[in-house]
Structure 1
Amino acid sequence: MKYNNNLKQIILPAVLAFVLILGFFIGRIWTPSTSSTGSNRLFIYPQSNKLEALINLIEQEYVDTINKAELIEKVIPEILKNLDPHTVYIPKEDLQAANEELDGNFGGIGVQFSMQNDTVLVISVISGGPSEKLGIIPGDRIITVNDSVIAGVSMNTDNVVRLLRGEMGTKVNVGIKRQGREELLDFEITRGMIPIYSVDVSYMITDSIGYIKISRFGRNTYQEMLTAMARLKAHNCQSVIIDLRGNSGGYLDVAISIINEFLSKGDLIVYTEGKNNPRQNIYANGAGSCQDVGVTILIDEFSASASEIMAGAIQDNDRGLVVGRRSFGKGLVQQQIPLPDRSAIRLTVARYYTPSGRGIQKPYENGVEDYHRDILARFEHGEFFERDSIVMDESLEFFTRGGRIIFGGGGVMPDVFVPRDTTQLTEYYFRLHDRGIIYQYALNYTDNNRLQLQRFENAESLVAHLSNQDLLSGLVEFARGRGVQFNQAQFRRSSERLEVELHAYIARNVFDNEGFYPVSHKIDEVVRAALYHIRNGYDREVLSLN
């Protein structure tokens, strides 16, 4: 392997943390439920079976009093985990939050915030939302909620969210501290419908190449995508990069609708098949508005399910290049089935296959823990750094429409492999990154210079200004004050990445994602690789389109 073992030891904890955080969310894809309440009751509460008899026996004869409902809540997940890693039980208290992200909205006050010194700092205000209408602005600090002080009491983000969110139409009172005002400003906010956007950003990355970042396939993603593409095409977009890195999935029908925009009539998009679900082929209808636009898909090890369907459809039909690293490997379709107590089960009902017949699902016979350790195993094996480290099963060889060899059995392999760039990653950088020091310093800098920074019209002019400021010296001192000792050699090696990340975070604080992504792409090796291949015509060469 051609990578540094010491660096591997540095990166490993970060990868482990990321895997654990995404463990619950990765690979979500399901179809609308068609089950009736009666069938749900029969499914979970059959009249006569060993499991129910056992629970009743325990309730009647066990030496101590037990809570039957609590016992059932513990038993259900234990049963389901023996099926597959993506069949899961969602308790009723968690169901609303689980659905909100993909439903595309929630009831709230319409602010994005960060915790700064145990105080809620408003980072941005949702355009047209309840808070903007009342005059709440970025930089405001929320001190009280419904007359209860929440500043300086070590309240975590989840608790703040619970206080600010609620049913649409309900009211919440907040006390705001604003720079330049000594008194607390009181606002009575009527909660409204707050959109959750799944298209994080879209912009022209060159004069003819557009970029779209899709973070999930939610209920509104298709319409967001159409709006983004229309805006790009109005600016002479001839080819688009669709970034699905970190996109863990979502609704199957939404992904299909988006893919349909790029394929010709009769092109197979995907097919699904299961024990009680006969094979269903889904074809493009030829009405897509992007059939004349070149397309490149970006994926990584956290691109799953719906993301893999899109990457697989584009790749198998030789419609465009797939760039990045091998995707997660989730080829199971879930159906969300409501239960009588308002909980739900997401039950695997089918497998999906790409147009060439590839099954994308990676093995899960060795249990859930081993299944989710797969990403770490790839890292330890060197797959993030060397394409040759990827083990291909030659018995799972398939062919694209144009005859290119592709493989199934564990994710989508990109046409263009891009290793993780470690040239600027040092122990000093990871100390700053893992402790959130880069982000926090950028937040402090923005807060202290907000009026000046808001005068800039766009991220480009803002970054030109920031480049003349000595931000890195300030970062070093800020880090030293938080226990991170300075290392001159490592700092010099990481300085370019540190500066770009600072600029990107500050740009996000001022211009939201429209500021962050164009700046961060300066050091994004996968985006740069995609641009290189498009500009040099290698996408047409690889796909035999010359």
Structure 2
Amino acid sequence: MKPKTKYIPLLLGLAVALGIVIGGKLNFTDTSDRLFTTNSKKDKLNRLIDYIDYEYVDDVNTDSIVDVTVNGILDNLDPHSTYIPKSDLERVTNNMKGDFVGIGVNFYTYNDTVTVIRPLAGGPSEKAGIKGGDRIIMADGDSIFGKDWSNDDIIHKLQGEKGSRVALTVKRKGIAKLLKFNVKRDVIPIKSVDASYMLTKDLGYIKINRFAESTYKEFKRALNALQAQGATKLALDLRDNPGGFLAIAEQIADEFLENGKLILFTKNKSGKVENSYATKRGDFEEGEVYIMINESSASASEIVAGALQDNDKGTIVGRRSYGKGLVQREMALGDGSAIRLTVSRYYTPTGRSIQRPYDKGNSEAYYKDYFKRLSSGELDHPESVIYADSLKYTTPKGKVVYGGGGIIPDVFVPLNTSMQNETLNYINRLGYIGNFVFGELDKDRSIYEGITPEEFIQSFYISDDIILKFQEYLNFKEDTNLTFVAYHDQIKRMIKAALAEQLFGSDVAAKIFNEDDEMIEEVIMLSQGKTLFDYEKETVKAE
């Protein structure tokens, strides 16, 4: 029986659609039994998870198995392709976004209680009247103190939608009655510019801790403020900066480079090249710039340093950088988790790849490169850096630069071993100094009322009695005789900087912490037309 004429177009349409589906599946190297199957490698993983889910004798959390599987796959790629579990993605995203919605306080969980270090200047909590030292004991009627409350729990309770309100109950020292505050949540910036101030009458200083979405705007505000104070030279501190967004690094490099100068180029799997050029908008193209780097300056930090070095702009000061020349793109996995997958390599304007070798994949040796540099003497002596002639490049003005593993500075500054003591690092890493300082400050905050930041920097002195108290505090915390006898001066500076941070903020803390910083001293000398080595020779002659 023939189909009715009116159905013929419909049948033809279905046939064409089916042909498209089959054609999409078709691979002319496949046998006929694979024509209607999905990708066999994907099928294999899906079936394995399903078998475990439905058939395995014991109950198993297959989510954790999937996480292990994803990490195992990425471990066989490169060291910088990473998996971000669902539980971490919000925190990681907020950190790189550069802001979140909250109440605007820095706090410690001090004796199991949320204790305000200082409210953010101009933020919701400061506007509501909350002060440093206040204990927040309730939020929206719920108690938020005690060992059952983790920092993550507290943060989730205090954060919320922009414009929403949270009712806080606060205990303030010296006031018997509990205080009530109704705080309107707002966007709170996560600072990526740690500090900006003038080093000399014409040399400004900016410290960037990462390249987040908000970093360029922060940097631009800081640069404009320094130029208004007379800065015609800039020390850009990228030490210990692990990187971040490629586009932000390009924007910052653009501030120093003339229109049309190549900032970098990337190359992907198929060989497609994308160039990034400077524009006309740079506001510091005529100024002198000094980029400070060390062995922990990576990725976007190296893009900025490499772009300036290869364009013969400014001076790179410090030690060889980390050596990360791979570009990642974040890709969602559909369940709230994501991967950051390496999708291309980037090259500096002369054509250098500064990615160090990872022949053994995601190996332990790759991450222990710092100790290799330390044992080889590279961090103390520039002649210990190994140069590969096959990776030699030349800048437009004839300067020789090298690829193959980080940016090699124009001016070398050795590691300051007095600040790399294991005991000091251990004390700092566990937050002992900040906690101790908070406890001392909390005894009587009125001592510091009326003191200006400059008065604090110039006149405030950390006594030997404070050092003894800190030693007793450490002994109590560690239940051992942890000592720092040979490093009293360093501990005094760290305590003073921590106190400044809690009283005045990061700019004042940075000024104190940077006193006697050898790399900054080198930059100051260079900006004055000589090096620290020349200065030391002149001092010896004068004596």
Q: For the superposition of Structure 1 and Structure 2, which TM-score range results when normalised by the shorter chain?
A: 0.7 to 0.9
**TM-fit CA distance, 1:346:** 1.5
**TM-fit CA distance, 1:516:** 0.5
Structure 1 residue corresponding to 2:464, chosen from 462, 466, 472: 472
Asked whether the equivalents of residues 300 and 326 of structure 1 are also in contact (C-alpha less than 8 Å), the reply is yes
Residues 338-487 of structure 1: pairs in structure 2 closer than 5 A: 338-368=332-362, 369-423=364-418, 432-433=427-428, 436-458=431-453, 460-467=454-461, 471-483=463-475, 485=481
> What amino acid maps onto 1:175 in structure 2?
T
Once residues 53 and 537 of structure 1 are traced to their aligned partners in structure 2, the CA distance between those partners, rounded to angstroms, is 65
Q: Percent identity?
A: 38
> What amino acid maps onto 2:132 in structure 1?
P
Aligned pair count?
489
Once residues 382 and 434 of structure 2 are traced to their aligned partners in structure 1, the CA distance between those partners, rounded to angstroms, is 32
Gaps of 5+ in 1: 1-45, 542-546
Structure 1 residue corresponding to 2:293, chosen from 299, 302, 306: 299
Once residues 207 and 152 of structure 1 are traced to their aligned partners in structure 2, the CA distance between those partners, rounded to angstroms, is 50
Once residues 132 and 499 of structure 2 are traced to their aligned partners in structure 1, the CA distance between those partners, rounded to angstroms, is 13
Cα distance per residue 1:356-403 (max 9 Å; x no partner): 111011111213222212223222333322223322222211222221
Asked whether the equivalents of residues 130 and 190 of structure 1 are also in contact (C-alpha less than 8 Å), the reply is yes
Check 1:47–1:90 CA distance in 2 against 1; reply closer, same or farther (3 A cut). farther
Once residues 365 and 142 of structure 2 are traced to their aligned partners in structure 1, the CA distance between those partners, rounded to angstroms, is 45
Structure 2 residue corresponding to 1:240, chosen from 227, 234, 237: 234
**TM-fit CA distance, 1:416:** 1.5
* Higher mean displacement: 419-428 or 112-121: 419-428
Once residues 477 and 151 of structure 1 are traced to their aligned partners in structure 2, the CA distance between those partners, rounded to angstroms, is 27
User: 1:72 corresponds to which residue?
Assistant: 66
| TM-score, normalization by structure 2 | 0.83
Asked whether the equivalents of residues 200 and 213 of structure 1 are also in contact (C-alpha less than 8 Å), the reply is yes
Name the SS of the counterpart of 1:273 in structure 2: strand
Residues 21-170 of structure 1: pairs in structure 2 closer than 5 A: 47-57=38-48, 59-60=50-51, 62-64=55-57, 68-153=62-147, 155-170=149-164
Once residues 148 and 221 of structure 1 are traced to their aligned partners in structure 2, the CA distance between those partners, rounded to angstroms, is 36
Cα distance per residue 1:33-75 (max 9 Å; x no partner): xxxxxxxxxxxxx932234234315624844365555533332
Name the SS of the counterpart of 1:473 in structure 2: helix
Structure 2 residue corresponding to 1:495, chosen from 484, 488, 491: 488
Asked whether the equivalents of residues 331 and 361 of structure 1 are also in contact (C-alpha less than 8 Å), the reply is yes
User: 2:244 corresponds to which residue?
Assistant: 250
Check 1:108–1:279 CA distance in 2 against 1; reply closer, same or farther (3 A cut). same
Gaps of 5+ in 2: 1-36, 535-543
**TM-fit CA distance, 1:192:** 2.0
Once residues 69 and 333 of structure 1 are traced to their aligned partners in structure 2, the CA distance between those partners, rounded to angstroms, is 28
**TM-fit CA distance, 1:537:** 4.7
Larger Cα Rg: Structure 1 or Structure 2?
2
Asked whether the equivalents of residues 467 and 492 of structure 2 are also in contact (C-alpha less than 8 Å), the reply is no
| TM-score, normalization by structure 1 | 0.83
**TM-fit CA distance, 1:171:** 4.0
Asked whether the equivalents of residues 454 and 510 of structure 1 are also in contact (C-alpha less than 8 Å), the reply is no
Cα distance per residue 1:8-50 (max 9 Å; x no partner): xxxxxxxxxxxxxxxxxxxxxxxxxxxxxxxxxxxxxx93223
Check 1:527–1:429 CA distance in 2 against 1; reply closer, same or farther (3 A cut). same
Asked whether the equivalents of residues 265 and 346 of structure 2 are also in contact (C-alpha less than 8 Å), the reply is yes
**TM-fit CA distance, 1:462:** 1.0
Check 1:233–1:144 CA distance in 2 against 1; reply closer, same or farther (3 A cut). same
> What amino acid maps onto 1:407 in structure 2?
Y
User: 2:513 corresponds to which residue?
Assistant: 520
Cα distance per residue 1:211-249 (max 9 Å; x no partner): 011111111211222211111111110100011111111
Cα distance per residue 1:128-161 (max 9 Å; x no partner): 3221221111121222344444445374433432
Check 1:172–1:538 CA distance in 2 against 1; reply closer, same or farther (3 A cut). same
Asked whether the equivalents of residues 124 and 509 of structure 1 are also in contact (C-alpha less than 8 Å), the reply is yes
Once residues 114 and 137 of structure 1 are traced to their aligned partners in structure 2, the CA distance between those partners, rounded to angstroms, is 14
Matched, 1:206 2:200: yes
Once residues 464 and 76 of structure 2 are traced to their aligned partners in structure 1, the CA distance between those partners, rounded to angstroms, is 51
Once residues 482 and 300 of structure 2 are traced to their aligned partners in structure 1, the CA distance between those partners, rounded to angstroms, is 44
Cα distance per residue 1:450-469 (max 9 Å; x no partner): 223131122x20133422xx
Check 1:139–1:277 CA distance in 2 against 1; reply closer, same or farther (3 A cut). farther
* Higher mean displacement: 425-434 or 150-159: 425-434
> What amino acid maps onto 1:346 in structure 2?
R
Once residues 422 and 354 of structure 2 are traced to their aligned partners in structure 1, the CA distance between those partners, rounded to angstroms, is 36
Which structure has more relative contact order (CA 8 Å, sep 6+)? It is 1
Asked whether the equivalents of residues 120 and 142 of structure 1 are also in contact (C-alpha less than 8 Å), the reply is yes
Matched, 1:510 2:495: no
Name the SS of the counterpart of 1:180 in structure 2: coil
Once residues 350 and 195 of structure 1 are traced to their aligned partners in structure 2, the CA distance between those partners, rounded to angstroms, is 30
Once residues 435 and 54 of structure 1 are traced to their aligned partners in structure 2, the CA distance between those partners, rounded to angstroms, is 41
